[in-house]
Amino acid sequence: MKVRSGLIQMALKGDTSLAPEEITKIMTEAHIPYIEEAGEKGVQVLCMQEVFTQPYFCPSQDTKWYAAVEKIPEGPTTKLMQDYAKKFNMVIVVPIYEEEMTGVYYNTAAVIDADGKYLGKYRKSHIPQVAGFYEKFFFKPGNLGFPVF
């Protein structure tokens, strides 16, 4: 059995001087034509890059990026991707900056089934501490293990 997969990775649209909410809107809109193209080409499993609605903000320790968090599954990006998954009968892996509760944030990928149903999520488990990158400033280590979808 063959499974047609697709990957979307793009540079930041706009710039980091914008508010995270503005960047989310711009980046989401920039992805939509590619999501639709993937669906029209029969992609069955589609993945986006890590925290696809934002720049890779970990070289900073700027707390403004905390405004980029969303709840999963009830957040707007997950809900929107559920609509596209259902429309195109396509599994979508949706990597976003997740807020479990105030002050508890994860680097998370929501997994949406081809019928638009939310299947679950994976929270990045290993948060590296590397010179010049402050992932631990933004993300807690995942606490859900390694789910299989």
Question: Residues near 113 by Cβ (< 8 Å), separated by ≥ 6?
Answer: 85, 91, 119, 149
> What are the extents of the domains in the chain?
5-138
Structure confidence by residue, pLDDT tens digits, 98-113: 999 999 999 999 999 9
Per-residue pLDDT band for 129 (boundaries 50, 70, 90) equals confident
Q: How many residues does the chain have?
A: 149
pLDDT of residue 148 exceeding 90, the answer is: yes
CATH of the structural domain 5-138, one choice from 3.30.830.10, 3.40.50.920, 3.40.50.2300, 3.60.110.10: 3.60.110.10
Phi-psi domain of 59 (left: phi exceeds 0; alpha: psi -120 through 50; beta: other): alpha
pLDDT of residue 124 exceeding 90, the answer is: yes
Is the separation of the CB atoms in 103 and 123 below 8 Å? no
Q: What is the three-class DSSP state of 3?
A: coil
Give the pLDDT confidence score for residue 60 in this predicted structure: 93
What average pLDDT score do residues 11-40 get? 97
- Residues 43, 109, 90: CA angle, nearest 5 degrees: 20
Q: Could you please report the per-residue DSSP string of 43-55?
A: -SEEEE-TTTTS-
Q: How far apart are CA 118 and CA 73, in angstroms?
A: 7
H-state helical runs in 69-125: 76-88
Q: What is the three-class DSSP state of 64?
A: helix
pTM score, whole prediction: 0.94
Structure confidence by residue, pLDDT tens digits, 42-92: 999 999 999 999 999 999 999 999 999 999 999 999 999 999 999 999 999
H-state helical runs in the chain: 20-40, 76-88, 135-138
Give the pLDDT confidence score for residue 99 in this predicted structure: 98
Give the pLDDT confidence score for residue 19 in this predicted structure: 97
Give the pLDDT confidence score for residue 90 in this predicted structure: 98
Is the separation of the CB atoms in 95 and 48 below 8 Å? yes
pLDDT of residue 125 exceeding 90, the answer is: yes
Token output for 137:
């400033």
